[in-house]
Structure 1
Amino acid sequence: MSTHERTPTEALARQRAGAQLIDVRDAHERALGMAQGARGIARADLEADADTHIPDREAEVLLICQSGRRSQFAAEALRARGYRNVASVVGGTMAWSDAGLPMDAPQLDEDFSERYSRHLRLPEVGLAGQKQLEAATVLVIGAGGLGSPVAYYLAAAGIGTLRIADDDVVERSNLQRQILHTDARIGMPKVASAHAALSALNPRTRIETVEERVTSENVERLLEGVDVVVDGADNFPVRYLLNDACVKLGKPLVYGAVHRFEGQASVFDAGRHRGSAPCYRCLFPEPPPPEAAPNCAEAGVLGVVPGIVGLLQATEVLKLVLGVGESLRGRLLHIDAMGLRFRETRLSPDPECPVCPPGRDFPGYIDYARFCAGG
């Protein structure tokens, strides 16, 4: 063993004699338990600003990681900067624990750390961001072509509560694109099938199922306590209703739609950004006539297209919850699967919109079915 290494027992003795013990693992690793009394400073942070963390270059410093490798590299980096008394703990925290030396109690359970380890390594997410995801509630309207990939990826990502509303049952014709469901669950309510699939994927995510059609009478109950709403509906009355409710209640609405080989996605957040962000009605003041907008059963859809759009919607949800990146607010993304091309349309709020201009009182819910039928 070199003079730049210490066994865990030797390190504990040196620590008790006044040496600094620094754990250079990332925060989520340290949260699973640390050598007692160690300071937590991630290796990258320590090497980037060593003088701030260790102002005395003559101080005795002991570095520890999980197995001893990262701490060895960190010790070499510090010695190259003039720190004379730096050593790495051989075998790291695993050897320290195996030797029965004192440990600080873990702050995280092992399942959390392993399940979300790839998120925890992202500075834009990290431990704090993953906790934000775990505390979030997302409402997904529809457990069909769009709702399936959205719900799958949000559950996998660790969204704490998924509330899924759908009043339909699984049919064989759904399975070409609605990947939440299986042949064995034909005839089962879609929300029950979704619950089975998502709970099997991530038992940490709470799945709330609502086997109801969305109406003016229940929409505000569905939105209660929700952070983000996902529009996975397949009809215009529900889209207009969701838009109006989200504007009224100040909820971001993640929009998606598909038709044959094409799709669209956007974020409508006018309720929280009056006058600077458009709502769905700013884009579509009036619905197209029914003959101009056939549904999937009438016009058909390439099975992967809802998957593409749903993944984009899930991405927007995660960004909104984490508060990172640039959302699709004020932008409509068009997807052409046949040419595999994406194009973007800039959207502006409509000052004549009946629901979202600043200072405009909510006009109340309307008969959306009649409105969309042109009545």
Structure 2
Amino acid sequence: MTVSTAAVARGANADFTIEQIEVAAPRAGEVRVAIAGVGLCHTDLVFRDQVETFAKPAVLGHEGAGVIEAVGEGVEGLAVGDKVMLGFSSCGGCPRCDEHLPSYCNLFVPLNYAGLRLEDGSTAYSKGDERMSSHFFGQSSFSALAITRARNVVKVPEGVTVPLEYLGTLGCGFQTGAGAVLRSMDAQEGSSLVVFGGGPVGLSAVMAGVIRKCSTIILVEPVAARREIALEFGATHVIDPKAVDDLGGAIRAILPLGVDSALDTTGVVPVIEAGLGALAPHGVIGLVGVPHQPDAAITVNITALMTPGLRIIGIIEGDSEPQDFIPELLAYHAQGKFPFDRLIKTFPLAEINEAIAAQSRGECIKVVLVP
């Protein structure tokens, strides 16, 4: 066992506690990574506060980056000292993995959400005799040391100038927003795009719309500073939803024939329904926002959906293959087309609760925690 400092979730809606935990040696197919930085994502809070089946105490965190310090048996292509980014877990052998769609892996849910190793039910973390859930999104990186499956690891390409502690954010939020536009919905040059929510996922979707040369890019976001940065990134229009009575009508005022692609990052039912109502014929709305109520549902008129050929798709991780897509995003960054690092503010891991509060108040867009 190796001792590490970690932010531990001990109960729903309770602050994280900073504790010393024991981290086991990596097993076959695993590596241990010294974490340089880990992004804070809304999904971490969802699993702390809303998912009762995720056993507590637990170490969450799923946007880690760092340096490999130990390698388990059978791991190939990775070595101690490699700089790496950590992504989600997938089996690598099911039909969807074979189609380079690992976020729809047949084992995605247990591999990422069970909080343990599927092989034997063990966890990588403990505190004395107390068991702690690990392997959240295959990594549980709210810890100075993290155990992850080698398949989750993406090596940092040569020549990358972004600080290592920032790079883990590409493992979930930023690749979700960008992938939704570039892969899931495959927005075409000259098409129109509306994005609901100007957090990390939404703003990465705006950047992706610019990369894809969409002719009209609309961001719907109540925080003025986020609307301003969207315009700096290349959005053609912004809407403050608090300033309009009819959100769908406000979109139609810009695009009378409707919008080709819409992305919801909010999980708010009326917002999703407004986006659906603003679609052009054969338009598509992608859903990535996690609703606050697990049983949240939208109402769809079947005829109104079928006649114009509208499409609703759920999106996980932007349909990305991390080994290919994360280096692609870094290449866009090097070209000045994906400045995700401009959205990041760092906090010490020990200040995780203060960071959550600051992000909730809109004082920062993307938090990175540094052990």
Greater relative contact order structure (CA < 8 Å, 6+ sep): 2
TM range (shorter): under 0.3
- Greater share of helix residues, 1 or 2? 1
TM-score with structure 2 length normalisation?
0.27
Structure (1 or 2) with the larger CA radius of gyration: 1
Normalised to the residue count of structure 1, the TM-score between the two structures is 0.27
